[in-house]
Structure 1
Amino acid sequence: MNVDPRQLNSLALAYIGDAVYELFVRNHLIQLGQVKPQQLHNEAVKYVSGTSQSTIIHEWIDQKRLTAEEEAVVRRGRNAKSHSIPKNVSISAYRYATAFEALMGYHYLMDNKERLHELMNEAINDTNELNN
C-alpha cells in the first residue's frame, strides 16, 4: 500500500514520528556509550518527553527554522484532536509535542532522510542546550 503522507491523518504521522524519533534518541544514547537500561531510560526521557518536544517545536517556530510546508504539517499536528492526553503534561504542550512528532513522521514517510536527520540532530542539540 502506498500512502501519501500529505493526505495522512496527523495523529498517524505523529504515531510513526514518535517511534522514529525514539529510535533515533536511543541510538544516539548508545553511541554515547550509555548501556545501563535505567540510565538509558532516564536520559531518553529528557529528549522524548512531551514538554521537551513542545519546547523544541516552539523554538523552531519562533526562530523561523521551518519551511512553509513544515509549518503546515506542524499546524495540522497541533490541531489534531486526540482523546487521550497524558496527565503529566499540559494540553498545550501535548498538542505541540504531537506537532513535533507529526513533523518527524511526515519527513520519514516522505523519505526526506536528509531533512529528517537534520531536524532530529537539531532536536538533540537543542535539548542538550536546554538541559545544561
Structure 2
Amino acid sequence: MSNIDGNGTHGEELNTWFPYPPSRAAKLIPPIVLAYIGDAIYEVAIRQYLISKANLRPNQLHRTATGLVSAKAQSMIITELDAVLTEEEREVVRQGRNAKSGSTPKNADVLEYRHATALECLVGYLYYTNQQERMAELIGKGIEFMINKP
C-alpha cells in the first residue's frame, strides 16, 4: 500500500477508525471512484436518517429511501446545495459532474445522472478528507430540502 507520510497514512486525510485507507490522497482519486464510495456512504446516511424516525415499516423505509437516493433527488439536492458550497467543494462537484462513468442511467436522464454523480463524488471526497461534520451537514441540508420541498 502506498503512503504519503511514511506511516502508511495520509495524515489528516485518514479516517483512523476505518482499517482500509484509500491508496492515495483524496485529491488524487478519480472523481468516479470518489462517487463510488460516496454513493454507499450517502445511502447509509439516508437509511440511518429514516431509521431514526418512528414507526416506519420495511416497505415504507425502502420506498422513502429509494426516493431520496434516486438520481433525480440527488440532482435536485446538489443544485440546491450549490449556494452553500465552498470553492473547493464546487470544484469537486464540477469534476464529478464531468466524470465519464461508462454506464447509461436507467431511471434518469443524462443530466440528472451527472448531477447525482457530482453529489456522490462530493460525499466521497468529504469522507476521504475526514470532513465528516461537513458531510453530515450537507447531507442533512439535502434531506431537509427533499422532505420540505414544495
For residue 4 of structure 1, the aligned residue among 21, 25, 43 is 25
* Counterpart Cα distance in 2 of 1:60 and 1:120: 9
Residues 1:32 and 1:65: Cα distance change in structure 2 (over 3 Å): same
8 Å CA contact retained: 1:21, 1:104: yes
Mark the runs of 5 or more structure 2 residues left unpaired by the alignment: 2-22
For residue 36 of structure 2, the aligned residue among 7, 10, 15 is 15
Task: Give the AA of the match of 1:91.
Answer: V
Mark the runs of 5 or more structure 1 residues left unpaired by the alignment: none
**SS of the counterpart of 1:21?**
helix
Task: Give the AA of the match of 1:51.
Answer: K
Q: Which residue of 2 aligns with 1:105?
A: 124
For residue 92 of structure 2, the aligned residue among 55, 63, 73 is 73
TM-score, normalized by length of structure 1?
0.92
8 Å CA contact retained: 1:51, 1:93: yes
Task: Give the AA of the match of 2:43.
Answer: E
Query: Which structure has the greater CA radius of gyration?
Result: 2
Equivalent pairs counted in the alignment come to 129
Cα offset, 1:29, TM superposition: 0.6
Q: Does 1:92 align with 2:114?
A: no
Q: Does 1:56 align with 2:56?
A: no
**SS of the counterpart of 1:51?**
helix
For residue 135 of structure 2, the aligned residue among 116, 122, 128 is 116
Task: Give the AA of the match of 2:139.
Answer: M
Task: Give the AA of the match of 1:102.
Answer: C
**SS of the counterpart of 1:33?**
coil
RCO greater where, 1 or 2, for CA within 8 Å and sep 6 or more?
Answer: 1
* Structural RMSD (CA): 1.2
Cα offset, 1:34, TM superposition: 4.4
TM-score, normalized by length of structure 2?
0.81
Q: Which residue of 1 aligns with 2:58?
A: 37
**SS of the counterpart of 1:6?**
helix
8 Å CA contact retained: 2:94, 2:118: yes
Q: Which residue of 1 aligns with 2:13?
A: none
Q: Deviations over 1:3-57 (max 9, x none)?
A: 2111101111001111111001101111102442211110101211100000111
Task: Give the AA of the match of 1:101.
Answer: E
Q: Percent identity?
A: 44
More helix by share: 1
